[in-house]
Amino acid sequence: MNMLEKYLVINPEVQRALDNGQAVVALESNVITHGLDYPDNKRTALAVEAAVRESGAVPATIGIIAGKIVVGMTVEQIEQFATTAAIPKVSSRDLPIILAQKGHGATTVASSLIAAELAGIAFFSSAGIGGVHRGAQQTMDISSDLIQFTRSKVAVVCAGAKNILDLGLTLEFLETHNVPVIAYQFDDFPAFYCRTSGFKAPQRLDDAEVLAEVINLQWQLDPQRSVLICTPTKEEDAIDSQEVSAAIAEANAAALDQGVSGNAVTKFIMKAIDRVTFGRSAAANQAVLINTARTAGWLAVAHARSNHIGCVNEQREHISRVQH
């Protein structure tokens, strides 16, 4: 038995879907413990799962519980994460430590990709990926999400990355490391709850069936690399990018004056944006999570359908060859 099998617990509904070739979408648990306050965190997590189901796919929220990678958390487990203080954020580098210590942990994009691939899940949804931080030329602050995209065979559906990052350098990093970045039915690389970052996406595709073929071809050509699929939040839920950029500039200056540094800067800036937008950013945060999950569900269904048709055609060709 593979050593990791004893650390992996797959929800029976998720396992049945995988066995039957149905679409499954993996989801991170970090947004439950570190994204929103209770009860909004629980309500949003369940709404995100509901959006995946509405699209015809099966949701699989991932968390670390008592040293096990749980793929497909129950409502009770989501409630536990939503109400328990001090559940740590677990990225890919932290996984072996948390598992060995039999601890709890909320998965990030990077660690969720590892878990999704272990479980055999092809699609993962996140509102916003990590990226290259502003000032990374001096700090070398680059999210492990970007590194994991070069190692995991998972299609990642997201709304781009937050404006607090250096989005130009983030796109440069992805290009350097040959990670395909595709905007679905949109021209620009989105910026979380802002519809555009001001940067054009490297590629645009409008057809889900073509996108499914692109994903399969990518994994034939390079089986250990993610495909990054970007979809913007809805216009009615978006926040103006200029408004956010001005708030970020002011918050960065304030953080420097107050000596805020390291990981604390991100939270400091996000709180500043929430104040400037009079709380609209929190609602926009929830909306982008749900919209991205719904799109991920649609694309996962199209991919599963494409693979099923491909298998049927292969079987027919095989039968034809045998008969002749």
What integer pLDDT is reported at residue 310 of this predicted model?
Answer: 54
In this structure, are residues 195 and 232 in contact, taking their beta carbons and an 8 Å threshold?
Answer: yes
Tokens representing residue 154 in the block: 């998972």
Q: What is the mean pLDDT of residues 268-292?
A: 83
Question: Residue 319 has what pLDDT?
Answer: 38
Greater confidence, 317 or 74? 74
The token pair that represents 263 in the structure block:
């990981």
pLDDT for 144 beyond 50: yes
pLDDT digits (tens, 9 = 90+) for 22-47: 999 999 999 999 888 899 999 999 99
The pLDDT assigned to 175 comes to: 98
Q: How confident is the model at residue 53 (pLDDT cuts 50, 70, 90)?
A: very high
**How far is 61 from 118, CA to CA, in rounded Å?**
14
Q: What is the mean pLDDT of the chain?
A: 91
Task: Give the per-residue pLDDT at 322.
Answer: 43
Q: Rounded distance, CA 261 to CA 205, Å?
A: 39
Q: Is the pLDDT of residue 245 over 90?
A: no
Q: Is the pLDDT of residue 320 over 60?
A: no
Tokens (6 digits) for 74:
């129950």
pLDDT beyond 60 at 323: no
Distances from the Cα of 85 to the Cα of 81, 106, 263, angstroms: 8, 11, 18
Dihedral angle, C-alpha 161, 164, 169, 174, nearest 10 °: -20
Q: At 158, phi and psi to the nearest 5?
A: -150, 175
pLDDT in tens, 83-98: 999 999 999 999 999 9
What pLDDT is attached to residue 256?
Answer: 81
Annotated catalytic sites, by residue? 28, 162
Which domains are present in the chain? 3-323 (3.40.1790.10)
Share in percent of the chain as helix, strand, coil (round to 5): 55, 15, 30
pLDDT average, residue stretch 40-67: 97
8 A C-beta contact, residue 206 and residue 200: no
The answer on pLDDT for 236 being more than 50 is yes
- Give the pLDDT band of residue 134 (cuts 50, 70, 90): confident
**Reduced 3-state DSSP string for 256-321:** HHHCCCCCHHHHHHHHHHHHHCCCHHHHHHHHHHHHHHHHHHHHHHHHHHHHHHHHHHHHHHHHHH
What phi and psi values does residue 148 have, to the nearest 5 degrees? -65, -30
Note the pLDDT of residue 315. 44
Q: Which pair of tokens denotes residue 150?
A: 């070069």
- What would the two tokens of residue 179 be? 């990670």
If you ran DSSP here, which 8-state letter would residue 199 be given? S
Task: Report the b/e string of 116-150 with b at 16+ CB within 10 A.
Answer: bbbbebbbbbbbbbbbbbbebeeeebbbbbbbbbb
143 is known to lie in a ligand binding site? yes
